[in-house]
Structure 1
Amino acid sequence: MAPTRWGGIVPSSKVARERRTDGACIACLHCSNNSRHMPSFSSSSRVEAQPKPRLASFTVAIGILRAGIMTTLLKDLTIDTVAVVLRGTILNPGLTAPMAAAITWIWEPDTFGSRGLHVNLPQLRLAAWVLTAAGLALRLHEQLNRWTANNWTRDSTWDWDKEIVLITGGSSGIGATMAQELIARNPRTKIVVVDYVPLTWQPAPRSDVRYFQCDLSDKTAIRALCDRVRREAGNPTVLVNNAGLSRGFTVMDGTYTDVELTINTNLIAPFLLVKEFLPHMVKSNHGHIIHVGSMSSMMPPARIADYAATKAGLTALHEALQLELKYIHQAPKVRLTLGIFGFIRTPLFKGQTGQPAFLFPLLESGTVARRFVDTLYSGFGNTIYLPGIMRYVAMLRGGPEWLSRMSREQTQKIKVDYVGYQKVNSKTGRLETPGAGNTA
């Protein structure tokens, strides 16, 4: 018996020969003319299998489809998405703790699970316990944030059949999307929209939406508005200070009117609305006030100093109110929420951020609105950072001054037009012709 070139066995007395169509021998080692009959693998004699046209087309189509799917996934992938996945997997103590316990049990030399297992487990066990500890620390951090911000009290009296939600700047943008989201969850919730322009959206059938026109830069108009709202709709249990405008001028180039309009609308109006509607919330120890802030309060770019100052003022208003409600007014169940956001696709936004979408994605008004509504329905107030990395950008304020300055100088690369769309009457100094919406 003799082994063949291809690993088979042939009788030594009878050599089996297998010939290809070109006459070359492919299975003989005992041929008298071995060199002549050895298989030829030259390009001229090799016969290659050609893919079928249909199969080739199908392969190309699959490749294009896979490339399209990956492009879409990568385009929509953000650091917040990654954070959600990590917190649901390797930073989830409900998953990592059992895994760490199982690895610890297997690692014991006398356990049944370790028998026949030739794996070095100490490092894997250490990693599992470290991830468990990190996950538990993260959960503890979140719970401390929640309960501290809400005075360690729970309010179970929320009834969305009876709540009255007042949203400024609700004609478009975040305010409009938030109103629609509230209606979608419960059409019996009474929605009060205050804006300088009419609604740009159609309320759902059987919903209870009241619209009140008001120039929020006019304090006299605000007083009259509040009296009318209480008379026709009732005392709001939720106040959303969302309306805002931007003029987009430098401190030197902006007029008195530009500064007054911005500060009156973005900061004075929220103060006055809180003064008007907070007493009823305090009396019933029930309510929720939302302020729509901005990352510009922490990292103000050039040309919107007045806008950034108003957003910083909202942050101060939010934080001072927290202490006043707890220690002075004895209303610990009145909730407060502050949103610190990057760029949002609203009527205020025009241009390109020029920022990496993975770290600083352009937010949609629906994303912001849903976070606010989720917060309302949770019964707890909090501080919302979107995208999530904004929380760590805000920490730069307490870091080295040179690092904070370098970060702020990066805002000069942002190609955004901050000039407002509102038209101002040069004689009265008031808003003239309504634009797309007086909405932040």
Structure 2
Amino acid sequence: MGARIKELPARLPKNFNKPDEPWYHYLTIDLIWKVLGYTLFHPWVAWILVLCLRAQYTPYENLEMRIAMAWAFLMTIIGIFGIISDRIAYGSPRDVDLSEEVIIITGGVEGLGGLIAEVYGMRNANVCVLDTKKVDDDEAEEKGILYYECDVGDAQQVEKVAAEIVEDLGTPTVLINNAGIVHTKSIINSTAEEVEQTFRTNTLSHFNTLRTFLPYMLNEGRGTIVTVSSVLGHLGAANLSSYAASKAALLALHASLKAEVAQHPNGAEVKTILVTPGQMSTTMFAGVKTPSNFLGPVIAPVDVAKEIIKTIEKGESADIAVPLYSRYIGILGVLPVGVQSLIRRWSGVDRAIERAGLLQKKHISPKN
């Protein structure tokens, strides 16, 4: 008999009992942009329109033919420019074979990291998770994932676990720095311990894992590092000061990492991916509503995970920003300050935590 097929238990989504949303709830600017990208803004489709006009014996000097050809040339030039720009910025992709990769995910028991880990586990990849949460052996075996109980904010624990991973699976080649926590408090109500914990988990953990695992990748001459930041790293927000600041630090860290890897003799095949998602439908920000589902939709973790996995397996470096507004959020900083203030008021970003009932209040008396 052949090899036994691996049985996977069926799991209903957690929101299966929620009422269906009206059809227009799913109509977002992201969906429209994606459809246009595969149709009107796609060079191949643009040239098909030209061919259709020629099939009707439309003369080249006709206005509609000239418009169609001009549009096709424009889309082709933009497409070629994008390819050249990406090649200059990120270099050539590396070859990725999952059977030869060892994937490490921090904070991979739940949320986005847990989703990515389970996908790779189902595909029989060599994947391990570093997290403070415990997972029993039966569940780990069922998912095909190795779990290591580790506080990634502690450099010694990371170094100890790294030695175990090398012994158990081999040389680490993919690092997904995903661990993160949030304290929804104002600056004056935050304790020193909470701020330190946030930065240890969200920021210092990246330094610990990079110092530990990057040398393996450079010695191997290949690897991929994923830095999961947040759109709040660009914006900041009231009652999310420590979280936003810790995520903003990752933007600078990623830029420095990218530059240092590019200068290393063995860094050509070490790829770097920056992820700056908008609000995701995870438990971390449950109940927080965006001002406009059309312009700023809440995205599902699976959509972000899909982009990360696709980019890793294509062997490319990239900047992943979803939904659409997070890709262009940097434009906000060059607008007049009055316009910036009006946009922040309209978006409700500084009132979102309080309106969602997530604000943790703790009165701190001033010290004399």
**Does the 8 Å contact 1:281/1:334 carry over to 2?**
yes
Matched residue pairs, number?
A: 336
Letter in 1 for 2:275: G
Seen in structure 2, the aligned counterparts of structure 1 residues 351 and 165 have a Cα distance that, compared at 3 Å, is same
Alpha-carbon separation, structure 2, partners of 1:322 and 1:342: 22
Q: Percent sequence identity over matched residues?
A: 24
Segment drifting more, 196-205 vs 317-326: 196-205
Alpha-carbon separation, structure 1, partners of 2:167 and 2:60: 77
2:294 is paired with a residue whose SS is coil
Alpha-carbon separation, structure 2, partners of 1:192 and 1:165: 6
Please report the RMSD computed on the Cα atoms of aligned residues, expressed in angstroms. Answer: 2.6
Alignment match, 1:227 = 163
**Does the 8 Å contact 2:290/2:297 carry over to 1?**
no
Does residue 76 (structure 1) correspond to residue 12 (structure 2)? The answer is no
Structure-1-length-normalised TM-score: 0.70
Does residue 178 (structure 1) correspond to residue 120 (structure 2)? The answer is no
Alpha-carbon separation, structure 1, partners of 2:60 and 2:206: 67
Shift of 1:350: 2.1
Q: Which has the higher helix share?
A: 2
Cα deviation per residue 1:26-54 (whole Å; 9 max; x = unaligned)? xxxxxxxxxxxxxxxxxxxxxxxxxxxxx
**Does the 8 Å contact 1:164/1:238 carry over to 2?**
yes
Alpha-carbon separation, structure 1, partners of 2:179 and 2:173: 18
Match of 2:103 among 140, 156, 165: 165
Letter in 2 for 1:150: Y
Shift of 1:233: 3.1
Match of 2:335 among 399, 405, 430: 399
**1:253-332 equivalent positions in 2, closer than 5 A:** 253-332=189-268
2:217 is paired with a residue whose SS is helix
Whose Rg is larger? Answer: 1
1:291 is paired with a residue whose SS is strand
1:161 is paired with a residue whose SS is helix
Alpha-carbon separation, structure 1, partners of 2:135 and 2:200: 22
Shift of 1:373: 0.7
2:328 is paired with a residue whose SS is helix
Unaligned regions of 5+ residues in structure 1, if any? 1-67, 111-120, 421-440
Does residue 347 (structure 1) correspond to residue 298 (structure 2)? The answer is no
Match of 1:91 among 35, 38, 41: 41
Match of 1:154 among 93, 101, 114: 93
Shift of 1:264: 0.7
Seen in structure 2, the aligned counterparts of structure 1 residues 284 and 418 have a Cα distance that, compared at 3 Å, is farther
Shift of 1:107: 4.0
Alpha-carbon separation, structure 1, partners of 2:230 and 2:161: 26
Cα deviation per residue 1:391-421 (whole Å; 9 max; x = unaligned)? 122222233333333333431342345568x
Alpha-carbon separation, structure 1, partners of 2:48 and 2:35: 19
Letter in 2 for 1:297: G
Alpha-carbon separation, structure 2, partners of 1:318 and 1:154: 18
**Does the 8 Å contact 2:152/2:208 carry over to 1?**
no
Cα deviation per residue 1:263-284 (whole Å; 9 max; x = unaligned)? 0110001111011000111122
Letter in 2 for 1:85: V
Letter in 2 for 1:288: T
2:151 is paired with a residue whose SS is coil
Cα deviation per residue 1:106-165 (whole Å; 9 max; x = unaligned)? 44399xxxxxxxxxx51x2343234324422442343134323322x2322x22112111
Structure-2-length-normalised TM-score: 0.83
2:185 is paired with a residue whose SS is coil
Shift of 1:72: 4.4
Unaligned regions of 5+ residues in structure 2, if any? 1-18, 361-368
Alpha-carbon separation, structure 2, partners of 1:405 and 1:133: 40
Letter in 2 for 1:167: I
Match of 2:350 among 412, 416, 419: 412
Does residue 128 (structure 1) correspond to residue 68 (structure 2)? The answer is yes
